[in-house]
A and B are shown apart, each in its own frame.
Chain A
């Protein structure tokens, strides 16, 4: 059984009298433990697809099923709870909270979890160690390099042991050497069993993935 099942997914945006069809009948199936990269040109719908997968953007039509849960049929704040417990996000611009230290940023997803403070810190420190930042727990984001900030963002995404790790252009703001390091990190996480869905425009990143899905004009054109 697939971990992620997307059926006939459509997403339309209306701006005035104009309707933009960002996603036009997408069907994708992703198995547990897979590392998928979604590629495509700007405006192909890859970021929209990721936000729909992340339970943050209600589709116009179709179904998204994750770990047996029909995402957009979840009532009220259950969708937020699903994000908190099953998903991890890595954003292009890192989006670390500037007034929190590295370890505090990583602990953010645990702020709403019933767990002792010390236990949260241990878990966050372990996640930071996993991304190679075990010695920089108490650094503020502005005291870290771009690559290190990205690693903190990855640690934050994996601290709650998510079933699926979603990443949006994680190397978009990094130089090529740092990009390779970050991609190698994603690969190691995947090797450890982490399912990863990554949006990227860099064809070189595809080599780290098990499979690449290419979108064009809101449709899957290659898989």
Chain B
């Protein structure tokens, strides 16, 4: 016989009330788990989708010379007195402290070139990365695969009078137009894209790049820190964050989080009330019992331990069941809530531990006053008959 025996036996005796308390707390914890998991899973989904919209860090050469406009972004000089970045230097980006937050690095080399008696801007890119980063591109024909494939902007295609499958000659070398971009309304419409390697050769810039776009974002991603970290690794380059994109993404995520926290707060409050009312009722029902305990010499701390142990056991069970139920609801709900059909549910040990811990904390805090109330009962009044 220990104090825990009393707690356990009482829980067994009051099965219905304890089940009500467990379910009440469980629903609260399940709601929080569902909200937190959904929010985090949706945030990750949105981040992933947003990352597909393009870069948010731009690496350009330090230059005071003539600039050229690319996609509304002011670039370093590309034709006169320009200081390009060595392509091999980009490997240093992977060594920054927050390298795990980088989802894609897209180096580019730019240069004016003459094709079919027209001056055009040739952009050398890694097609695989570029197509991944610019998911809004719609390619008529085929995506470029070999070094001698070209991708033309819609305007460039018209000016050069070239369609998918046509051949173009650039500086004596034959290239195949594998695809033409649908109109984007941006600078991309007038560009000619080739593989980075080939463009470097044609422009005489082997091993060099003009700029690099970096896509990096996750919840709480320290873009400002990452800009500083990249700048330290590439002192010869100018590194800047595209603030609008960053702020827009963070704002969206922030709204999700605030909604989640507000809902969690309300649920925590209701859960606490359920625990408080049930435990208070349980204590009042057990007035005589507590009077007996006190009369036979139980200290106030003993009474509190009995009540709090009961609360802890119920809370622990509610926490475990709440986590399981919450994840179950999140699994069922996520496909309807997330933007992507293949959005993945985040299974996090911290959420599991946190939900059980929160249930325990909630149960114990809400039971503290009932336990104190019980411990302060006057044994004479409690027993009345004595």
Among the listed B5, B12, B296, B379, which residue makes an inter-chain contact with A84, where contact means beta carbons less than 8 Å apart?
B296
Can you pick out 13 interface pairs between chain A and chain B where the beta carbons lie within 8 Å of each other? Answer: A47-B386, A56-B380, A80-B294, A80-B300, A81-B297, A83-B295, A84-B296, A84-B298, A89-B296, A95-B291, A100-B5, A109-B296, A120-B1
Cβ of B3 within 8 Å of any chain A Cβ, yes or no, is: yes
Number of A-B contacts (CB under 8 A): 94
Residues of B within 8 A of A84 (CB): 296-298
Are A97 and B289 in contact (CB-based, < 8 A)? yes
Chain B 291-349 interface residues, beta-carbon cutoff 8 Å to A: 291-302
B3 and A56 within 8 A (CB): no
Is A93 engaged at the interface, CB distance under 8 Å to the other chain? yes
List the A residue with the shortest CB-CB distance to B297: A84
Q: How far is the CA of A193 from the CA of B378 in the complex (A)?
A: 31
Beta-carbon contact of B380 and A168 below 8 Å: no
Q: Is B202 an interface residue (CB 8 A)?
A: no
Cβ-defined partner of B383 (8 Å) among A91, A104, A108, A156 = A91
Whole-angstrom CA separation of A23 from B1 in the bound complex: 38
User: Residue A117 at the B interface, CB < 8 A?
Assistant: yes
B385 partner, pick from A82, A91, A120, beta carbons under 8 A: A91
Question: CB within 8 Å of B: which of A58-104?
Answer: 77, 80-85, 87, 89, 91-93, 95, 97-100, 104
> Across the interface, do B386 and A54 meet the contact criterion of CB distance under 8 Å?
yes
B118 is an interface residue with CB less than 8 A from chain A: no
- CB atoms of A97 and B292 under 8 A apart: yes
The residues of A that contact B296 with a CB separation of less than 8 Å are 83-84, 89, 108-109, 156
11 more A-B residue pairs beyond the given contacts A56-B380, A95-B385, A112-B297, with a C-beta to C-beta distance below 8 A: A47-B385, A81-B297, A84-B296, A87-B297, A92-B385, A97-B292, A100-B9, A104-B1, A108-B296, A111-B3, A156-B296
* Size of the chain A interface, CB-CB below 8 angstroms: 37
With both chains docked as a complex, state the minimum distance between the C-beta of B200 and any C-beta of chain A, in angstroms.
82
A38 contacts partner chain B, Cβ-Cβ < 8 Å: no
Task: Check B171 for interface membership: any CB of A closer than 8 A.
Answer: no
Cβ B3 vs Cβ A99 within 8 A: no
Contacts of B385 in A (CB 8 A): 47, 91-93, 95, 168-169
User: A80-B297, A109-B296 are contacts. A98–B13 as well, Cβ < 8 Å?
Assistant: yes
Residues of B within 8 A of A57 (CB): 380
Chain A, residue nearest B303 (CB): A80
B183 within 8 A of A: no
Q: Which residues of B239-297 have CB atoms within 8 Å of chain A's CB atoms? A: 288-289, 291-297
Contact B13 A80 (CB under 8 A): no
Option from A89, A93, A99, A168 in Cβ contact (under 8 Å) with B13:
A99
Within 8 A of A (CB), among B27-65: none
- Closest residue of chain A to B10 (Cβ to Cβ) is A99
Give B285 Cβ to nearest chain A Cβ, in Å: 11
Q: How far is the CB of B378 from chain A (nearest CB, A)?
A: 8
What are the 8 A-B residue pairs with the smallest beta carbon separation, nearest first?
A84-B297, A107-B1, A99-B13, A83-B297, A77-B299, A56-B379, A99-B9, A51-B380
Is B12 touching A56 in the complex (CB atoms < 8 A)?
no
Q: How far is the CA of A93 from the CA of B293 in the complex (A)?
A: 15
Kindly state the separation between the CA atoms of A92 and B294 in the bound complex, as whole angstroms: 16
Instruction: Give A98 to B379 CA distance when docked, in angstroms.
Output: 18
CB distance from B192 to the nearest CB of A (A): 85
- Tell me if A152 is interfacial: C-beta within 8 Å of chain B: no
- In the bound complex, do residue B2 and residue A111 qualify as a contact, i.e. CB atoms below 8 Å apart? yes
Residues of B within 8 A of A98 (CB): 13
- The yes or no answer to B97 lying at the interface (CB within 8 A) is no
Instruction: For A168, give the chain B residue with the smallest CB separation.
Output: B386
B68 interface hit (Cβ, 8 Å): no
Q: What residues of B have a CB within 8 angstroms of the CB of A100 in the complex? A: 5-6, 9
Contact with A along B62-85 (1 / 0, CB 8 A): 000000000000000000000000
With beta carbons under 8 angstroms apart, the residue of B2, B6, B12 that contacts A97 is: B6
In the bound complex, residues from chain B placing their C-beta under 8 Å from that of A197 are none
Which chain A residue shows the least CB distance to B4?
A111
The answer for the CA separation of A87 and B296 in the assembled complex, in Å, is 8
